[in-house]
Structure 1
Amino acid sequence: MAETTKAKINVKEGTIELEGSESFVRGYLDEFKELLKSPSKVDISPSQDVEPKAPAAKKAPANKSTTTKSSTSKRSAPKVSMERFSIHSDGETPSLEAYIEDKKPGTGNGNIIAVIGHYITELLGEDSFSEGQIEYAYKMLKIKRPSHLRQIMINEKNKRDLFEPNAEDNTKWHLTRAGEIFVSDMLPES
Structure 2
Amino acid sequence: MASDTKFRINLKEGLFELEGNESFVDKHLEKFEEIFKVAIKEVIINNKDNLLNYTTTTPSNSTVDNAPIPLENYSSQEARNHSSKRKTFQDSEISDVQTELPLSSKSSRHSIPKISINIPPVPVDLKQNDEKIGLREFYAEKKPTNHYEKTTLFVFYLTKYNKHQEIKFGEILSCYEEINEKKPSIIDIVKNSIRYKGWLEPGIEKLSTRLTISGENFIKFDLPKT
Q: Give the match for residue 158 of structure 1.
A: 195
The count of aligned residue pairs is 124
Rounded Cα–Cα distance in structure 2 between residues aligned with 1:187 and 1:152 = 19
Match of 1:75 in 2: 114
One-letter amino acid of the structure 2 residue matched with residue 145 of structure 1: K
Letter aligned with residue 152 of structure 1? I
Deviation at 1:114, TM superposition (A): 0.5
Classify the secondary structure of the residue corresponding to 1:164.
strand
Query: What is the CA-CA distance between 1:135 and the residue it aligns to?
Result: 1.0
CA distance in 1, matches of 2:189, 2:111: 22
Match of 2:157 in 1: 119
Task: List gaps (5 residues or longer) in structure 1.
Answer: 1-45, 48-66
CA shift for structure 1 position 74: 4.4
Find the aligned partners of 1:77 and 1:161 in 2 and give their Cα distance. 25
Task: State how far apart, in whole Å, the 2-side matches of 1:74 and 1:159 are.
Answer: 27
Flag the structure with larger Rg: 1
Query: TM-score if structure 1 supplies the norm length?
Result: 0.59
Which whole-Å CA distance do the structure 2 matches of 1:74 and 1:102 have between them? 42
Aligned residue for 2:140? Answer: 101
Q: CA deviation at 1:170?
A: 2.4
Superposition pairs for residues 49-68 of structure 1, below 5 Å?
none
TM-superposed CA distance for 1:91, in Å, is 2.0
Deviations 1:9-39 (A, max 9, x none): xxxxxxxxxxxxxxxxxxxxxxxxxxxxxxx
**Cα deviation 1:38-72 (Å, max 9, x = unaligned):** xxxxxxxx85xxxxxxxxxxxxxxxxxxx9x9543
Gaps of 5+ in 2: 1-97
| Distance (whole Å) between structure 2 residues aligned to residue 139 and residue 77 of structure 1 | 21
Q: What secondary structure, in the 3-state scheme, does the structure 1 residue paired with 2:165 have?
A: coil
Partner of residue 22, structure 2:
none
Q: Which runs of 4+ in 1 moved over 4 A?
A: none
Output the amino acid matched with 1:178. Answer: S
Q: Secondary structure at the match of 1:132?
A: helix
2 CA distance for matches of 1:145 and 1:73?
A: 26
Specify the alignment match of 1:54 in structure 2: none
Write the deviation string for residues 92-121 of structure 1: whole angstroms up to 9, x where unpaired. 311100000011111x11100000000000
User: 1:140: Cα distance to partner?
Assistant: 2.1
- Which residue in 2 is equivalent to 1:88? 127
Describe the SS at the equivalent of 1:113: helix
Alignment-derived partner of residue 176 in structure 1:
212
In the other structure, the counterpart of 1:135 is 173
| Secondary structure of 2:133's aligned partner | coil
Task: State the alpha-carbon separation in 2 of the partners of residues 104 and 73 from structure 1.
Answer: 41
Which amino acid letter does the alignment assign opposite residue 136 of structure 1? Answer: S
